[in-house]
Amino acid sequence: MTTIYYREIVSDGCEQTEIVDEQRSFDLQHFAQACGQSPEWVLQLLEYDILPNRPDSRVHQFFGDDISRARRAYRLQRDFDASFTAVAMMLDLIDEVQNLRRQVKHQQFQPH
């Protein structure tokens, strides 16, 4: 299954949509631009392990699927006035709930 990520920008009543390939890689500047945030904000996501750790040689290489996590982190930070530490914990809990839901759904389809 292929997931296509996109972002919608509403400016002066006009809506634009940008398609982002999940396998496409971004450097720090382009990733920050795709997320609508500053490079410094993105570096905070790495510092607080909100985005997956990368080897030193690829520390500033990001992928399309990182965009949705970064944007979710921003929404949590904005909506709850949350610190990076709180956002990291909230995302970990959200991930855990999603994993548990997948396990339950998988078990429902297995014969007993």
pLDDT tens-digit readout, 32-90 = 999 999 999 999 999 999 998 888 888 889 988 899 899 999 999 999 999 999 999 99
pLDDT for res 56: 82
**Mean local confidence (pLDDT), 15-28:** 68
Query: How do 4-11 and 14-21 pair as beta strands?
Result: antiparallel
C-alpha 51/C-alpha 18 separation (Å) is: 21
Rounded to 5°, the CA angle 56-76-43 comes to 20
pLDDT for res 102: 92
Question: Is 94's pLDDT higher than 70?
Answer: yes
C-alpha 86/C-alpha 83 separation (Å) is: 5
- CATH code of 46's domain: 1.10.1660.10
Domain span at residue 71? 4-108
Number of domains in the chain: 1
Question: Is 99's pLDDT higher than 60?
Answer: yes
Give the rounded distance of the alpha carbon of 69 from its chain centre.
Answer: 1
pLDDT for res 106: 87
**Mean local confidence (pLDDT), 9-36:** 72
In this structure, are residues 10 and 23 in contact, taking their beta carbons and an 8 Å threshold? no
